[in-house]
Amino acid sequence: MYLLMTTDHFEKWLHKLKDKQGKARILASLKLLEQGHIGDFKKSGGMT
């Protein structure tokens, strides 16, 4: 399980988001990420 920390900037942006369905999808994705379901990803260069 992971702990996600948000910034004030992100919290303000999320609060101002008018698309309720989009907001719900973002929050659902973050919840899955916290639970370790990171989905598809590609390694970026420079990180080992």
Residue 33 CA from chain centroid, whole number: 7
Residue 20 domain-assigned (yes or no): yes
**What pLDDT sits at residue 46?**
63
> Average pLDDT, stretch 26-46?
85
> Average pLDDT, stretch 17-33?
95
Please state the domain count of the chain. Answer: 1
Residue 43 domain-assigned (yes or no): no
Give the side-chain half-sphere CA count within 13 A for 11.
5
Q: In the predicted model, is pLDDT for residue 22 greater than 60?
A: yes
Domain that holds residue 13: 1-37
**What pLDDT sits at residue 1?**
85
Residue 45 domain-assigned (yes or no): no
Supply angle C-alpha 2, 40, 43, rounded to 5: 85
Contact between 34 and 3 under an 8 Å Cβ cutoff? The reply is yes
Two structure tokens written together for 41: 């990803």
Please give the Cα distance from 27 to 21 (Å, whole number): 10
